[in-house]
Structure 1
């Protein structure tokens, strides 16, 4: 029997929050657990660094289009059935990836893995909007990100440890088992949160059309996506930057990656505490300029003749700042399109992973021995986020002025 969604205080119950966070772990588990194996994949298939990074790009493209599809379908068909179907696809494609005989098959399997895994990510956000409102949505989004942030701490270290005994293929079998576990958790805990009357009024394309006509949604969705691009640039380049540029071992890289994840989790938790007092918009207004400043600092250190390990400092600051932005900006975007939250979550995820898929191969264009492309792309993405925040503030002032005019 499904468990109650809300506790006595009217907040999302702990069991639901944990399962939602587990679903949101799809992307970090499927990327971070696998990242330490990049050099071994390159060796096994004789591929280039950019070729290996395409296995990450394929996953991100699948996540982008999968969220677009599953989000819109969940508005029309409900949340539960599409969620379970996505888990089945993710499980099967993980098995295919584990058995891949070539880099091309691995890229294709990762694409399908992203398509299926997208269901959990996009529908988890939609369920939160179904059950919570206003600052509570921002708080819950940040809490989900905090709990889900356990994956980036554990996954790289575990992935590095697994490289010896089982290699990257064993990592894919591990992911298959995790997707099976997700299916069990969803079946045991969740109930349908999209009422039938809401589904009858929604069409697959109508919801998507509604969200692209809402300027506030578009601004904060783009802000969310560009912030994610900063983090994805770091993630996709991190294996080479930490191991080849800074000289860390595979285990040392996993530890450093985990330290950065602790910063992300800490800021996400602090952000959830601020949601009810300071508010999501005020937090974002402070965090975005800081993200730009820290990204510029990363670029400065990358071009300076300084010890390479110093890069770890501005990278940590940048990743930590992301935690103040992601949950709040997603809540601000989805609050503007509550009536089609599945499609809103789909657009949010699509933009997020399209940006991620674009920056992922670009971060490696300079080869494995430089951090400069990563630093440049992080700075550009952070600058775009700052421009979007400025545009949102300008729009809000104009609307306030128009409302005050007799």
Structure 2
């Protein structure tokens, strides 16, 4: 088959780029859109908090493991077919949950959803590495980051309204519709972006994980990112019950709070870009993690002293979101730069690891049921201290420079 001419290549690249913008947010939305419905699901299934929270935790586990599998597979097989097939099955799983089966089946289907949406997420993100080089790749990656952020930022607010208007199953009907659109795009619009000459046998594609696992920079950085992202997943798992059940606020109110926190997370990413050319990376990392740790310790003391209200939950959490988000792009860039020619696998392993590890931390916190938010602050103390240790301790020399 002859190589496409430049005009055709540019058209295909544009089609792939715009397809990616629609596909990338699906993973975040599948994680977050139904979170305002967790208390309603508890009442519907007559279950305890942990049983309902496990629908999120098991999804995260599946999402993490699925990405680790999807990275080498999409590097070996290409992007388009794995995205198409996994998204079709994801839609079927969404419909299954929306039919309101028993809770054990909802949990099983959520685990399946996590694995399936991971293939779509990894394949869509890898399009950037396939289609762009140098400065163009940076610009395209910025757009991808913004598109990805719309999932976790906007979906909880939308989920709050869907809960009030239609009940807890509405979020899964919405995801089924979005997944159907993604599948149609993958079938009709999305070209294959993985160059055939770069594909390897699946065994070789998986073998790169061994090098990543023993790399002195990649693995510690990935684990540090797992610690810092736990502040987000910890809040999403615990706070719906604090705010809606214990403090008696509506799902829409909670969704708006999540929207605010998501904007603060995105703001931290943008602020890091502004200061990164003038401030040493290690200084911003140390300051962000250190301040977050101090805030978490202070809030634990205040919570145990009787301060438990929406402001005491959201204001310090918002500050921590902003600060920890400043660290995020530095770690992500460092991981991907270590294995530039295995973009799908490098991206998938770091994403899979931070989701799995943060799911474990969050699961432990959810087991500590309490009348106030002290379990969340204990989690925050642990993960912010671990972030500080990894980045400012183990990786200080690697990040001790100015990004130009």
Kindly indicate whether residue 46 of structure 2 is the aligned counterpart of residue 46 of structure 1.
yes
- Alpha-carbon distance between aligned partners in 2 of 1:139 and 1:329, rounded to the nearest angstrom: 18
> Shift of the alpha carbon at 1:392?
4.3
CA contact (8 A) 1:284 1:329 kept: no
- Alpha-carbon distance between aligned partners in 1 of 2:9 and 2:193, rounded to the nearest angstrom: 12
In the superposition, the TM-score normalised over structure 2's length comes to: 0.86
Moved more, 107-116 or 323-332: 323-332
- Of residues 347, 351, 360 in structure 1, which corresponds to 2:362? 360
Kindly indicate whether residue 214 of structure 2 is the aligned counterpart of residue 200 of structure 1.
no
Moved more, 201-210 or 333-342: 201-210
- Deviation string 1:318-370 (CA, Å, 9 cap, x unpaired) is 12223323333112101101122222122112211212321333332233632
Counterpart in the other structure of 1:344:
346
Counterpart in the other structure of 2:228:
227
> For 1:5-404, what aligned pairs fall within 5 Å after superposition?
19-132=19-132, 141=141, 143-187=143-187, 190-200=190-200, 203-273=204-274, 284-306=285-307, 308-309=309-310, 310-367=312-369, 369-394=371-396, 396=398
Moved more, 164-173 or 357-366: 357-366
CA contact (8 A) 2:282 2:396 kept: no
Secondary structure in structure 1 of the residue aligned to 2:241: helix
CA contact (8 A) 2:282 2:399 kept: no
- Alpha-carbon distance between aligned partners in 2 of 1:368 and 1:175, rounded to the nearest angstrom: 32
CA contact (8 A) 1:62 1:113 kept: yes
> Shift of the alpha carbon at 1:254?
1.4
Cα distance change of structure 1 residues 128 and 369 upon mapping to structure 2, 3 Å threshold: farther
> Shift of the alpha carbon at 1:381?
1.1
Cα distance change of structure 1 residues 31 and 279 upon mapping to structure 2, 3 Å threshold: same
Secondary structure in structure 2 of the residue aligned to 1:66: helix
- Deviation string 1:4-49 (CA, Å, 9 cap, x unpaired) is 477xxxxxx6x76664354332333123210111112111111110
Moved more, 40-49 or 281-290: 281-290
Cα distance change of structure 1 residues 92 and 328 upon mapping to structure 2, 3 Å threshold: farther
CA contact (8 A) 2:122 2:348 kept: yes
- Alpha-carbon distance between aligned partners in 2 of 1:261 and 1:246, rounded to the nearest angstrom: 21
Cα distance change of structure 1 residues 280 and 395 upon mapping to structure 2, 3 Å threshold: closer
CA contact (8 A) 2:130 2:195 kept: no
- Alpha-carbon distance between aligned partners in 2 of 1:112 and 1:384, rounded to the nearest angstrom: 31
Secondary structure in structure 2 of the residue aligned to 1:364: helix
- Deviation string 1:89-122 (CA, Å, 9 cap, x unpaired) is 2111111111242110000010111111111222
> Shift of the alpha carbon at 1:396?
3.5
CA contact (8 A) 2:157 2:259 kept: yes
Moved more, 135-144 or 228-237: 135-144
Counterpart in the other structure of 2:5:
none
- Alpha-carbon distance between aligned partners in 2 of 1:234 and 1:296, rounded to the nearest angstrom: 16
CA contact (8 A) 1:58 1:111 kept: yes
- Alpha-carbon distance between aligned partners in 1 of 2:337 and 2:108, rounded to the nearest angstrom: 35
> Shift of the alpha carbon at 1:71?
0.8
Secondary structure in structure 2 of the residue aligned to 1:363: helix
- Deviation string 1:250-290 (CA, Å, 9 cap, x unpaired) is 22111111111111122233344556776877754543334
Give 5+ residue unaligned stretches, structure 1: 7-12, 399-406
Cα distance change of structure 1 residues 186 and 299 upon mapping to structure 2, 3 Å threshold: farther
> Shift of the alpha carbon at 1:204?
3.8
- Alpha-carbon distance between aligned partners in 2 of 1:128 and 1:297, rounded to the nearest angstrom: 42
Cα distance change of structure 1 residues 261 and 396 upon mapping to structure 2, 3 Å threshold: closer
Number of equivalences: 391
